[in-house]
Structure 1
């Protein structure tokens, strides 16, 4: 299986790539600064490194890149700096999701392509009308006003929900919602839920980046797991003692 990963140089995206390689997939990565990648990636025949900014690729270049991919995974996010939060591109995740999906659809492939988006528990799945407290609604409202990356995450997931939908013949999708991300060296036990089991604002849980990468890679590899969660926005927590 061939998998394209965007955001592969990030803290979680790199863990996803490692898990895909463990599963013996062919991996394509689009990165702006390939010189920063580990030497093991550069010398791995199972990785194709594409040096580019995902939003600066032409439509034809994007179509060519995804033409032989069975799955596409996005771990894109905004750098937690002033420029990363308030500078351009403010709709990095949304625009990349839209362009990648348009490229997949325009290729008219015989089989549907899996699209896995890393999202956040701070974003509700409106298909399920997930209840949140009034206080959390107020905080989320402030985040929408003050933090453009939060709006970007919401709009990216909404694009998959409302524009790709549940019956698209070219694309099937899952938006994975991790809670508070932490660093761990090894995969540990984790749990998956259709919706948050705790407040993302006032009682956030934790999940290791490597566990998120493991779950995203498992979705891509395991068709039974994929069938369980496709068209949904599962929430992932690491099990105790991390929680």
Structure 2
């Protein structure tokens, strides 16, 4: 399968790229600065900006499925829990801009123009209404939604746009993410009961996103939770 990854230089996007290649897929990595991506077999890079729908259509042309890993700019860098990258990630959730609410509709338009029928969107468990979670986790999710209300609103607009589309979409809502090693031992599925604040590695989230793109037909047009 030929998979386009939008946001391929981000924390999850890099891991999605690596996992898709490990599984033998052909990958098109789409980023504003594709020159920073390390070359690899079965990997091609294309420049693309989610605020430019026509340019994005060219970037994903000829692919079978798109995985969107875009999100608020955080300048994430690996390190300990108090790293500058993590602090920037926190700040990005307070002031997320419109990268999701504007970027995802542009990706949808690009898919239509390019004839791509399948889209996987990385979102976040904070968008859950909590019905599938424990009572304690519902309460914490509610607090989180109020604290990060701007980021939740931005992602909600994006999710609604995807759900209204005629694509074979999957929305993946991971728990909080960290740089731990991949385990491939996680819970994922529509309305899966997970612990939203028990960390999930970027690598395990990436594996779930690739599954959603390539090997989980029962997830089509569903919202999938992934975590521990």
Aligned pairs, how many?
211
Stretches of structure 2 that go unaligned for 5 or more consecutive residues are 75-86
Stretches of structure 1 that go unaligned for 5 or more consecutive residues are 239-243
1:56-94 CA distance string (max 9 Å, x none): x352x322222311100111122153874566x711023
Partner of 2:12: 12
Change (3 A) 1:176 1:58: closer
1:161-204 CA distance string (max 9 Å, x none): 2x21xxx2xx111111111212233343111142253564xxx2
Match runs of 1:155-170 below 5 Å: 155-161=157-163, 163-164=164-165, 168=166
Q: Tell me the distance in 1 between the aligned counterparts of 2:154 and 2:206.
A: 21
Change (3 A) 1:196 1:205: farther
Using the size of structure 1 for normalisation, the TM-score is: 0.75
Partner of 1:241: none
Partner of 1:66: 60
- Between 1:91-100 and 1:8-17, the stretch displaced more is 91-100
Change (3 A) 1:91 1:45: same
Change (3 A) 1:189 1:86: closer
2:99 alignment partner, one of 83, 92, 97: 92
Q: Aligned-residue CA RMSD in angstroms?
A: 2.7
Change (3 A) 1:172 1:234: same
Partner of 1:116: 120
Using the size of structure 2 for normalisation, the TM-score is: 0.79
Q: Tell me the distance in 2 between the aligned counterparts of 1:207 and 1:141.
A: 22
CA shift for structure 1 position 10: 1.0
Match runs of 1:1-243 below 5 Å: 1-37=1-37, 41-42=38-39, 44-55=40-51, 57=52, 59=54, 61-78=55-72, 79=74, 81=88, 84-85=92-93, 90-107=97-114, 109=115, 113-124=117-128, 133=138, 136-144=141-149, 148-161=150-163, 163-164=164-165, 168=166, 171-195=167-191, 197=193, 200=196, 204-222=197-215, 225=216, 227-238=217-228
Change (3 A) 1:84 1:214: same
Tell me, yes or no, if the aligned pair for 2:189 and 2:219 is still in contact at 8 Å: no
